[in-house]
Amino acid sequence: MTGAYRIHSWNVNGIRSCSKKGFVEWLRTHGGEIVCLQETRAHAEQVPEEVRAIDGFHTHFVSAERGGYSGVGILSRRPFDAVETSLGEARFDSEGRLQFAAFGDLLLVNGYFPNGSGKDRSNDRVPYKLDFYRALFDRLEPERKKGRPILVLGDFNTAHREIDLARPKANEKTSGFLPIEREELSRWLDSGWTDTFRHVRGDEPGHYTWWSQRFGVREKNIGWRIDYVLASPGALPYVEDAHIHPEVKGSDHCPISVDVSHKIFGT
């Protein structure tokens, strides 16, 4: 077996809504090998049947206890070896934000990282958000140190550097671009994780993955890059390319992807 496989990540901002905007057609024609979804906002039984039982894909969905909130899902052409969903703390697990999926040697972590803004943009959820980042980092650290290929992908809800949002000065006090949030993402990168898009594309400006739904904002490309695929040192040699797909509509986010060698699976 030769060739590269594409792995997608997409915050769909409600799988029921996105499915009415062409999601299944996109999945069939452009979905690649594995598609990780965030903010599905549906219990498993509420995921449209055309998505949950689509031919040719194995599916797994996790929901929050609260209805219409958070949630993640994976659709894969190859079967899972195992899927876990717990960080070991009820305050995280109750929000349905994580899937740890094993595909051979590869550990694929699909994450919907918390937004820190809280009620009325008070930033009162920032401590919870940072605790989530740190708990996940600690959970993965033993496997990372062993050299296991790991990809952590999803909506990180943080723009790392000024180049990663259109209006950095105007958002210095906004959750998603607070110094303390950016420092936490820097800690991951300084510890050996790699932002695959920047690794491949360098410091090209104007690449964003989320836009406000206010009229004309997306057309003017006034956005934020808050969706990432991070690669462990054990995974990075298998990463062949990285993309952002702003032409794909259906959500206020667009899909991102990495192309990886089949060797990342160990088979």
The Cα–Cα gap between 69 and 58 comes to: 23
The Cα–Cα gap between 20 and 228 comes to: 25
The Cα–Cα gap between 102 and 129 comes to: 25
From first to last of the 267 residues of the chain, give the pLDDT tens digit: 457 999 999 999 999 999 999 999 999 999 999 999 999 999 999 999 999 999 999 999 999 999 999 999 999 999 999 999 999 999 999 999 999 999 999 999 999 999 999 877 889 999 999 999 999 999 999 999 999 999 999 999 999 999 999 999 999 999 999 999 999 999 999 999 999 999 999 999 999 999 999 999 999 999 999 999 999 999 999 999 999 999 999 999 999 999 999 999 996
The CATH number for 137's domain is: 3.60.10.10
| Structural domain that includes position 170 | 4-265
Catalytic residue from among 81, 120, 155, 164:
155
Please state whether the predicted TM-score (pTM) of the whole model is above 0.95. Answer: yes
How many domains are there within the chain?
A: 1
- The yes-or-no answer on residue 155 being catalytic is yes
Q: Taking a C-beta distance cutoff of 8 angstroms, is the pair 70, 112 a contact?
A: yes
